[in-house]
Amino acid sequence: MLKDITLGQFFPGRSFLHRIDPRTKIIAALLYIVAVFLCDSIMSFIILLAATLALIALSGVPVKIIVKGLKPLIFILAFTTIYNVFFYKGDHILVHWKFITIYLEGVVFALIMGLRIICLLTGSSVLMTYTTSPIMLTDGIERLLSPLNKIKAPVHEFAMMMSIALRFIPTLVEETDKIMCAQKARGADFSSGGLIKRARALIPVLVPLFISAFRRASDLAVAMECRCYRGGSGRTRMTKTHFGARDVILFTATVILGTVIVLSNIYFPIWMI
Amino acid sequence: MTKLKLVDVNYTYSEGTPFRKDALRNINIEIEDNCITGLIGHTGCGKSTLVQLLNGLLFPTSGEVMFDGKNIKEKGYDLKTLRHKVGLVFQYPEYQLFEDTVYDDIAFGPKNMGLDKDEIDRRIREAALFVGLEERYFEVSPFDLSGGQKRRAAIAGIMAMDPDVLILDEPAAGLDPIGREEILGGIYSYQRKRKNAVVIVSHSMEDMARYSDKLIVMNGGEVFMQGNCREVFSETDKLLSVGLDVPQITKFMRELKSKGVDVRTDIFTVDEARAEILSKIGGRGNA
Mark out the alpha helices in chain A (DSSP H runs).
Answer: 22-38, 42-59, 63-70, 74-87, 104-127, 134-145, 155-185, 195-201, 203-226, 245-267
Q: Above 80 in pLDDT, residue B108? A: yes
DSSP B203: S
- Residues 67-126 in B contacting A (C-alpha not used; CB under 8 Å): 80, 83-84, 87-90, 93, 95-98, 108-109, 112-113
**Which residues of chain B make contact with A210, given a CB cutoff of 8 A?**
none
Smallest CA–CA distance, residue B184 to chain A, in Å, is 20
Rounded average pLDDT over A181-197: 86
Write out pLDDT tens, residues A228-250: 888 777 777 777 777 888 899 99
Q: B29 - beta bridge partners?
A: B6
- Residues 34-53 in B contacting A (C-alpha not used; CB under 8 Å): 52
Higher pLDDT, B120 or A195: B120
User: Rounded to an integer, what distance in angstroms lies between the CA atom of residue B102 and that of residue B104?
Assistant: 6
Could you write out the three-class secondary structure of A76-116?
HHHHHHHHHHHHCCCCCEEEEECCEEEEHHHHHHHHHHHHH
pTM strictly above 0.80? no
Most B CBs within 10 Å: which of A63, A186, A215, as the mutation test of the B interface? A186
User: Rounded to an integer, what distance in angstroms lies between the CA atom of residue B71 and that of residue B62?
Assistant: 12
Query: CATH number of the domain at B2-229, please?
Result: 3.40.50.300
Per-residue model confidence (pLDDT) at position B164: 94
Q: Are the Cβ atoms of A184 and B93 closer than 8 angstroms?
A: no
In this structure, which long-range contacts are made by residues A96-104, counting pairs with CB atoms below 8 Å and at least 24 apart in sequence? none
Rounded average pLDDT over A118-140: 86
Most A CBs within 10 Å: which of B15, B48, B89, B96, as the mutation test of the A interface? B96
User: Rounded to an integer, what distance in angstroms lies between the CA atom of residue A100 and that of residue A106?
Assistant: 12
Per-residue model confidence (pLDDT) at position A95: 77
List chain B domain ranges: 2-229, 247-287
A200 pLDDT band (50/70/90 cuts)?
A: confident
User: Rounded to an integer, what distance in angstroms lies between the CA atom of residue A41 and that of residue A39?
Assistant: 6
Q: Strands across the sheet with B222-228, in order?
A: B86-89, B165-169, B197-202, B35-40, B214-219, B222-228
Per-residue model confidence (pLDDT) at position B4: 92
Write out pLDDT tens, residues A242-273: 788 889 999 999 999 999 988 888 888 776 55
Rounded average pLDDT over A20-29: 91
CA-angle at B150, arms to B102 and A2, nearest 5°: 95
- Looking at this predicted complex, what is its ipTM? 0.84
CB B214 within 8 A of CB B51: no
Q: Is A208 on the interface with B (CB under 8 A)?
A: yes
Q: How many helices (H) and strands (E) does chain B have?
A: 11, 10
User: Rounded to an integer, what distance in angstroms lies between the CA atom of residue B50 and that of residue B40?
Assistant: 12
Q: Above 90 in pLDDT, residue B35? A: yes
User: Rounded to an integer, what distance in angstroms lies between the CA atom of residue A95 and that of residue A92?
Assistant: 9
